[in-house]
């Protein structure tokens, strides 16, 4: 027994165990688990080898021999796995690979444990009992040499891989490789010396002495060289997988290395490029050469900029990074060049810029729309006071009174102002729409006469209307206003009023890519659309004008104009359509509008029969917070021979109705009031009397208001400002009198006297 041998075996085991514990704490790092198994296997092997030498009986020695083998077979397998992972070949370490790899080790353990049956691993074990501690001589069988061939094969492959990367590695990775090679080969060198009887102790397995070197080397590698923290990946693997083009120049600016991305970029083979001067290799890229030769690097010897590898007309931008390559002494030995294609990045930035502009534009339009809708509502309330009083005054004065013409003018101006409010509501997307199937071609044909007189005689109107055009669902009045606005806008864009305005229709099928080109309409769905184009040969628009074209009252014409395009925007959005504007200064403008088609058929609508001298009976409760509006409505209703009671808000209306419910036959209810608004008041009145006739009046559009009362039995909707005739029709509708419908929408866009 050699006490020195035993002590060094235990020392090697302790060193390996501590190294294994340290590595296990870094198990998130690639290769750390296999390195831990390698260190633990080595520790157990060394530890049991020491106990084997201490054992004083044959039985104990045989038992230790059998249990030492699982750790022995773990070492070469875990060694190869760790080397593969450490060197960047971990993709080969699959479950199937590991299953194949452990076949021989498992078979070896089985052969050792059952050797007394077949004697294929050791054909004979001879014991020398002449000493205090028995000494065994193992006569090796064929399976022993199979195992040795496998084990040495694993070590040889691992060592060759490490030697290969030792040649190409630098810095800490070179020192790591050298340490690992020393650690894994030391015990096997000792084992070979033992097998060949080349040691001073022929019957003593010197493999354990190799573990002294293994433990110390691994401990140093783990603590000093951070093997478990810094695991290299093969340099070629990194460069070859990079999408960036990488080129390396020597001090004389000759290409000495480049990756596949650079080869593809330059369109030459590596054999043609390596050794060639950079001025020749990159002759096709003058902007890049200029920066390589003339751009001044920063304090760290680096250059970060953009370079154009295309042409001025068709640029292809790359991110350029130039850095000096220095040796260990800090002396420059070359230059590295990294080129990254910015095409996708630039496209993404441009797409983001476009989306941000669209979002800002949409938010601006939405804000202006809310403002315009609020203004239109309040303005309509005031107009009812003006136009209503003017109409009532006309009934009270003689037909030959000098004041009559003045009152007619006031009434006319009031309803022209009401038309402006309708345009504001259209701009806000809250215009009053009566949606029904319609033929765009027929509508344009019906408008030919009015279009001819609306533009100067020197303007040539051209109509290119497609045959068999599908129907759309739209409000015909709003569509007429849309075309009129676009036609007048186009005619006024002509130089000196001379030129051509073309109206064009056709059926188109739009995919998402096409819809994304629309300037207006962000939620359009792919499908069938009717395209309506208005094109002029005028002066065109610059980018600043196109950005502001839909702003209310923005105009390039004389003051007092400019709401037409704003209203057109609201009409298009209200009909679920889209618009694209194509214009360039000096080349005219084309407005392209798309509207979704419908399969519904045209419907004919008969006008209700109106009773010219209809008179009412009973009491009407007027609910409005504006005194002037209450007074106007009272006077109109009294002329229709109704009795009238008034309330200033919803709460007052509930109180008045409860006191006079037996007399009140109808309620004329405003929507926007303090304390209790019209909607809540409507519900409360319905709870009191479910059969009560209620007429809603509002400066907002019917479509928006009526949605709040669907299925609630609304008698009629009356849009402010209204005439006495519209009020009469509303009362007839609400009270189910005559041939009127149960619920009608009363259009206040009647002709104005004097127009």
Residue 487 lies in a domain: yes
- Verify that 141 and 63 share a domain, yes or no: yes
Joined together, the tokens standing for residue 224 give: 């000093």
Whether 571 and 644 map to the same domain: the answer is no
Measured between alpha carbons, how far is 57 from 76 in angstroms, rounded to an integer?
A: 30
10 and 78, same structural domain?
Answer: yes
77-95 pLDDT, tens digit per residue, is 888 888 887 776 777 888 8
Reply yes or no on whether the pLDDT at 230 is more than 50: no
Helix axes 403-427, 564-574, angle to 10 degrees: 50
Does residue 276 belong to any structural domain of this protein? yes
Whether residue 611 lies inside any domain: the answer is no
- Range in 14-23, 164-173, 435-444 the model is least confident about: 164-173
pLDDT tens-digit map of 584-610: 888 889 999 999 999 888 765 554 455
CB atoms within 10 A of CB 136: 15
Q: What is the mean pLDDT of the chain?
A: 78
pLDDT of residue 749: 38
Closest CA to 426 of 492, 372, 502, 500: 372
CATH code for the domain in which residue 399 is found: 1.10.287
- Tell me: do 134 and 74 sit in the same domain: yes
Q: Which residue has the higher pLDDT, 582 or 132?
A: 582
629-638: average pLDDT: 89
Distance, in Å, from the CA atom of 6 to the CA atom of 48, rounded to the nearest integer, reads 10
Is 305 part of a structural domain of the chain? yes
Q: Which tokens in the block code for residue 148?
A: 């040795």
Lowest mean pLDDT among 41-55, 244-258, 377-391, 527-541: 377-391
Q: Which 3 state secondary structure label does DSSP give 715?
A: coil
Name the DSSP letter for residue 557: S
User: Higher model confidence: residue 635 or residue 184?
Assistant: 635
| Model confidence pLDDT, tens digit, residues 700-719 | 766 667 777 877 778 888 88
Mean pLDDT on 521-537:
88
- Provide the strand spans (E) within 612-658: 619-623, 643-647
The answer to whether residue 346 sits within a structural domain is no
Q: Closest by alpha carbon to 595, among 548, 655, 652, 527?
A: 527
516 vs 529: CA distance, rounded Å: 14
What is the chain's Cα-based Rg? 47
Contacts of 743 (CB under 8 A, 6+ apart): 714, 715, 716, 717, 733
HSE-up of 427 (CA within 13 Å, CB side)? 30
* CATH number of the domain where residue 123 is located: 1.20.1070
The total number of structural domains that make up the chain: 5
Instruction: Give the integer Cα–Cα distance in Å for 678 and 287.
Output: 72
Question: What's residue 613's pLDDT?
Answer: 66
Residue 281's CATH number:
3.30.450.20
Tokens 């105009």 belong to 555
Spatial neighbors of 32 by CB under 8 A, at least 6 apart, are 23, 24, 26, 228
pLDDT of 740 reads: 38
Q: Is residue 463 part of a domain?
A: yes
pTM for the full predicted model: 0.40
**Averaged over 400-429, what is the pLDDT?**
70
If asked whether residues 19 and 78 sit together in one domain, one would say yes
Taking 50 as the threshold, does the pLDDT of residue 353 lie above it?
Answer: yes
Q: What is the pLDDT of residue 739?
A: 39
Listed residues 598, 632, 650: the one ending a domain? 598
In a domain, 609, yes or no: no
Q: Is 399 in the same domain as 506?
A: no
Integer Cα distance of 520 and 507 in angstroms? 19
> Of 303, 322, 341, which marks where a domain is finished?
341
CATH number of the domain to which 591 belongs: 3.30.565.10
Q: Which helix (H) or strand (E) segment is 268 a member of?
A: none
pLDDT of 302 strictly over 90: no
In a domain, 235, yes or no: no
Report whether pLDDT(203) > 80. no
What is the structure's pLDDT at 743? Answer: 43
Same domain, 70 and 18: yes
pLDDT computed for residue 338 by the predictor: 92
**What is the domain-level CATH number for residue 682?**
3.40.50.2300
Is 269 a residue whose pLDDT tops 90? no
Report which listed range, 91-100, 109-118, 197-206, 482-491, is most confident.
109-118
Instruction: Please tell me whether residues 191 and 311 are part of one structural domain.
Output: no
The answer to whether 501 and 461 are in contact (CB under 8 A) is yes
Give me the residues paired with residue 510 across strands.
527
463 and 414 in a common domain: no
Residue 38 and residue 112 in one domain: yes
Quick one: 94 and 207 in the same domain?
Answer: yes
Q: Summarize pLDDT for 461-484 with one digit per residue, the tens.
A: 889 999 889 999 988 877 887 888
Q: Same domain for 88 and 145?
A: yes
Give CA angle at 566 (478, 537), nearest 5°.
90
Average pLDDT estimate for 287-306:
75
What residues contact 211, with CB distance under 8 A and at least 6 apart? 9, 12, 13, 16, 42, 45, 46, 49, 186, 187
Which pLDDT value is given to residue 172?
A: 56
The answer to whether the CB of 450 falls within 8 A of the CB of 485 is: no
- Rounded to whole angstroms, the Cα distance separating 435 from 444 reads 18
Where is the domain boundary, 598, 630, 650?
A: 598
pLDDT band at 695 (very low <50, low <70, confident <90, very high): very high
Task: Please report the pLDDT score of residue 753 as a whole number.
Answer: 33
Domain that holds residue 382: 352-418
Phi/psi at 746 (nearest 5 deg)?
-100, 115
């Amino acid at each position: 027994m050699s006490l020195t041998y035993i002590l060094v075996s235990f020392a090697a085991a302790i060193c390996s165990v501590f190294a294994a514990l340290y590595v296990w704490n870094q198990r998130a790092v690639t290769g750390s688990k296999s390195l831990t198994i390698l260190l633990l296997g080595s520790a157990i092997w060394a530890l049991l080898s020491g106990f084997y030498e201490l054992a004083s009986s044959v039985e104990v020695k045989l038992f230790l021999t059998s249990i030492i083998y699982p750790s022995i077979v773990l070492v070469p397998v875990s060694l190869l796995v760790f080397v593969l992972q450490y060197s960047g070949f971990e993709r080969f370490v699959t479950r199937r690979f590991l299953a194949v790899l452990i076949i021989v080790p498992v078979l070896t353990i089985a052969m050792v444990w059952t050797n007394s049956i077949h004697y294929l691993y050791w054909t004979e074990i001879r014991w020398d009992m002449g000493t205090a501690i028995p000494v065994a001589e193992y006569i090796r069988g064929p399976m022993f040499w199979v195992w040795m061939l496998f084990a040495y094969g694993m070590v040889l492959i691992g060592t060759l891989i490490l030697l290969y990367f030792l040649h190409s590695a630098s810095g800490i990775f070179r020192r790591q490789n050298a340490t690992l090679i020393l650690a894994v080969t030391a015990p096997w060198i000792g084992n070979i010396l033992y097998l060949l009887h080349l040691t001073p102790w022929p019957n003593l397995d010197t493999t354990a002495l190799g573990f002294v070197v293994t433990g110390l080397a691994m401990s140093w590698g783990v603590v000093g060289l951070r093997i478990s923290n810094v695991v290299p990946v093969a340099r070629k693997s990194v460069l070859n997988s990079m999408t960036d083009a990488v080129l390396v120049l020597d001090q004389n600016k000759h290409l000495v290395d480049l990756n596949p991305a650079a080869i593809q970029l330059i369109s030459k083979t590596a054999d043609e490029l390596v050794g060639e001067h950079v001025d020749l290799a990159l002759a096709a890229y003058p902007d890049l050469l200029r920066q390589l030769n003339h751009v001044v690097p920063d304090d760290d010897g680096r250059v970060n900029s953009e370079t154009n590898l295309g042409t001025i007309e068709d640029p292809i931008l790359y991110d350029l990074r130039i850095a000096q390559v220095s040796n260990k002494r800090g002396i420059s030995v070359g230059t590295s060049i990294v080129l990254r294609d910015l095409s996708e990045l630039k496209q993404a930035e441009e797409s983001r810029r476009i989306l941000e502009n669209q979002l800002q534009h949409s938010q601006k339009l939405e804000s202006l729309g809310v403002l315009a809708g609020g203004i239109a509502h309040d303005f309509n309330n005031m107009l009812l006071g003006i136009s209503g009083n003017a109409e009532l005054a006309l009934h009270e004065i003689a037909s030959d009174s000098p004041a009559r013409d003045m009152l007619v003018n006031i009434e006319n101006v009031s309803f022209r102002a009401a038309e402006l409010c309708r345009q504001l509501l259209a701009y806000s997307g809250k215009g009053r729409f009566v949606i029904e199937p319609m033929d765009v071609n027929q509508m344009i044909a019906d408008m030919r006469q009015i279009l001819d007189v609306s533009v100067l005689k020197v303007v040539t109107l051209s109509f290119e209307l497609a045959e068999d055009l599908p129907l759309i669902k739209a409000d015909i009045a709003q569509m007429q206003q849309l075309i009129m606005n676009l036609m007048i806008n186009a005619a006024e864009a002509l130089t000196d009023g001379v030129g051509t305005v073309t109206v064009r229709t056709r059926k188109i099928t739009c995919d998402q890519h096409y819809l994304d080109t629309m300037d207006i309409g962000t939620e359009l769905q792919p499908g069938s659309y009717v395209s309506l184009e208005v094109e002029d040969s005028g002066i065109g628009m610059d980018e600043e004008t196109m950005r502001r074209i839909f702003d209310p009252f923005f105009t390039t014409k004389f003051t007092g104009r400019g709401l037409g395009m704003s209203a057109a925007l609201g009409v298009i959005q209200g009909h679920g359509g889209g618009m694209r504007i194509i214009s360039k200064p000096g080349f005219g403008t084309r407005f392209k509008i798309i509207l979704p088609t419908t399969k519904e058929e045209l419907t004919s609508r008969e006008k209700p029969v109106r009773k010219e001298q209809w008179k009412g009976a009973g009491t009407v409760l007027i609910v409005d917070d504006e005194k002037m509006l209450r007074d106007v409505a009272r006077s109109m209703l009294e002329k229709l021979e109704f009795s009238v009671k008034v309330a200033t808000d919803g709460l007052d209306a509930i109180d008045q109705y409860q006191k006079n419910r037996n007399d009140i036959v109808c309620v004329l209810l405003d929507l926007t009031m303090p304390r209790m608004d019209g909607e809540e008041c409507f519900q409360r009145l319905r709870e009191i009397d479910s059969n009560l006739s209620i007429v809603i009046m509002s400066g907002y559009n019917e479509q928006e208001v009526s949605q709040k009362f669907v299925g609630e039995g609304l008698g009629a909707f009356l849009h402010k400002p209204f005439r006495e005739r519209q009020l009469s029709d509303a009362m007839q509708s609400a009270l189910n009198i005559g041939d009127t419908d149960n619920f009608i929408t009363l259009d206040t866009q009647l002709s104005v006297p004097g127009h």
